[in-house]
Chains A and B, each alone.
Chain A
C-alpha cells in the first residue's frame, strides 16, 4: 500500500474521517447522507474539489457534535492507484487498515 512513483502521478482526492464516539472506531463520511458514516475507506465519499470537501467537512463536524456520533472529524488526502484507495500519509494508511505490526487486528484483519 506504500506509494510508488506511479501513484504520485494520480490526482489527489479528499475523504473525511473521524472516530466513532462510543467505541473509537475509525469511520469515514459516506457518499449517501442516509448512510452517514461507514467503517471502510472503500465505501467513503471522495471529493475531487477542495472547496466541496471543506463544505462537507464543516457540515460533518456540525452534525457529529449534534448527534454525538463522531469525534475528531477531519479531511485527509488520498489517491486512487490501480483501483485502490491509498491515503497519501502513512498515518492515514495505518488508520484505514490497522497497525502494521499486528496485521491480525484492525480493519485489515476483516479484509
Chain B
C-alpha cells in the first residue's frame, strides 16, 4: 500500500495570511453578534440575517449549520475536523448536500462561534452557504482527475470565491445566486440548472475560454439556462460575470420572493434582450480593472499544488487478478470507478447510499475512515459530489482492491454510483422547516426495493431525485425519475415526473399523472422500471427509451389500478 503524507498539498487550495485573517475576523464578528442576541441587544429580526450569513438556519428540531466545502474539495484534515465537530457539537453524523456542502442538524446557537473557530483552524467556514449572495461555487467532483477533462474548473471556482466573498455589490442581491462550472463535455455539475452555468473549454489555439448559460434553475419555476455567450476569453471571465450580476442587481425583482431569481428576469426580458443588457454592461466595464491577468490565474493554480503522480500503466496485473478473483470487487470497479487522466490511476466514488440508508448521511466514524483512506490512497484529498457521495479522485489502480476491502468492511462499498439506488434526496420533512413531505423514508424504501446490485446494474443509468417541497433541493425536476413531495390536506403525497436530464442536454421532467401515496410511489417506480426493461433496445438508457416510446406505456402501467 502506497501511503502518502497527508500534509503534502495536493490539489486543495492553500490559504494565505489574508484568507486566514479574513475568516478569523468573521468568526469574531459572529461571536459578538451571538452574544448581543443572547443578551437582548439584538432582536431576532435583526439577528436572523446575520446568522444566515454564517450558514446558521433554524430548522424543525434545532439549528442547522451548513458548512462550505468550496467546489466540493476537502483535505483529510478538514474531514477529520468535520467528524470531530459532529461528535463534539452534534449527534455524531453529518449530511452531505446537493451543493457539495455539509450540514449538521442538531447545532446549538451558543456553540456556533466555537464551531466556526474550530473550522477556521482548518481553513473552513460557513460563509456564502445562505442568504442572498453568491453561494458556494460548485463543479465536477472529478475535477483535476477525469480523463475527459479539458479545463480544471477548480482554479476558476476559487477565483470566483475570492472575487465574490467581500464584493459590496453582491452582498444583498435580489435573491441567492448559484454558479456551477464544468470543464469537460460530460456535464457532471448540472450547469444549466444554475443561475449561471459556466462551461470551460479551449479553442483551437489551446486558450481557455468560457461559455455562459444564464437563468437556469429549479424550484417553483424550473428553467433551463439560456446561452448568453459562447466564448468569453479567460481574461474577461470576471468582467463578464460582473456584467451579468450587475444586470441582475439592477433589474432583478426585489418585490416578490417568488420572482426574484435571475431565471425570472431572463425569462421576462427574453434571452435576446437580457444578452444585450449584459453585453452593454460588459462593454462599459471591460478594462484593466476587471482583466483577469494570466499571472493571477497561474498563482491561483500554483496554490492548488498537485499530486505527485508516479509513472504507471493502466490495468496492472494485480488489479486485473483481483477483479477476476472477486466478482463483487469487479462490479464495484465497473460501477463506481472512473478513468483517470493519468495512466495507472482511477477516481473512486464512495457511495453514501447503502440500500435502505439515508442518502448523503455519514457518521463521524465513517468520515474518519474516509480521511484515513484519502491519506493512504489519494494524496490526502477527497471530494463531495452533488449526488451526495464522496470521491477519492487519485487512487492507484493497484490499490483499488485494498481501498474497496476497507470500504466494504465499513458499509461504504455499495456499487451503485449513477444507478437506481444512488438516489438524491433532500432532508425533507424529517428535518427541514420548509418541507411539505418526507423525502428520506421514500428514498430508503426505493433503494431497499432495488437493493440487488446485479439488478441495479441490469437497469443501468437511472437517476431518481426526490424533493420534499417545491424548492427542489433534491433536484427532482432533472431526475430521470423525479419525485416531489406534496401536502394534501395534511397527508403526504408524491408527484412523479419522468424524463428529466441534468446534463448539457438538460430537460425538465414531465408530470406522469396524479400524485400518489408513499407506498404507491415505490410500486410506481417498480412499474416504470419494468416498462423500461420490457421496451428498451440494446444500449438504451431509461431516458432514451422514454423518448422513443413516449409517456403512454409508463403512465398506463403506473395508473392501471387507479
A interface residues (Cβ-Cβ under 8 A, vs B): 3, 19, 21-26, 65-66, 68, 71-72, 88-91, 94-95, 98-102, 105-106
Contact = CB atoms under 8 A, between A and B. Distances in A.
Interface stretch (B59-67, B293-301, B310-318, B543-551): B59-67
A95 B38 contact: no
B431 A24 contact: no
A23 B61 CA distance: 10
B430 A21 contact: no
A72 to B, nearest CB: 6
A68 B61 contact: no
Contacts of B106: 105
A100 B430 contact: yes
Interface of B: 37-40, 43-44, 58-63, 91, 106-110, 358, 429-431, 435, 437-438, 440-441, 444, 487, 490-492
Contact of A3 (B60, B430, B490): B490
A22 B109 contact: yes
B58 A26 contact: no
Nearest to B109: A22
B62 A105 contact: no
B108 to A, nearest CB: 4
A93 to B, nearest CB: 10
Contact of A24 (B62, B435, B444, B490): B62
Contacts, number: 75
A77 to B, nearest CB: 9
A33 B108 CA distance: 25
Nearest to B93: A102
Given A91-B429, A94-B429, A22 B61 contact: no
Contact of B61 (A72, A90, A106): A106
A23 B441 contact: no
Contacts of B40: 66, 68
A94 B58 contact: no
Q: Which 10 A-B pairs have the closest CB atoms?
A: A24-B62, A23-B108, A99-B430, A24-B63, A68-B40, A101-B440, A22-B110, A71-B44, A95-B60, A101-B430
A21 B38 contact: yes
B441 A100 contact: yes
Contacts of A71: 44, 58
Given A65-B44, A71-B44, A91-B429, A19 B58 contact: yes
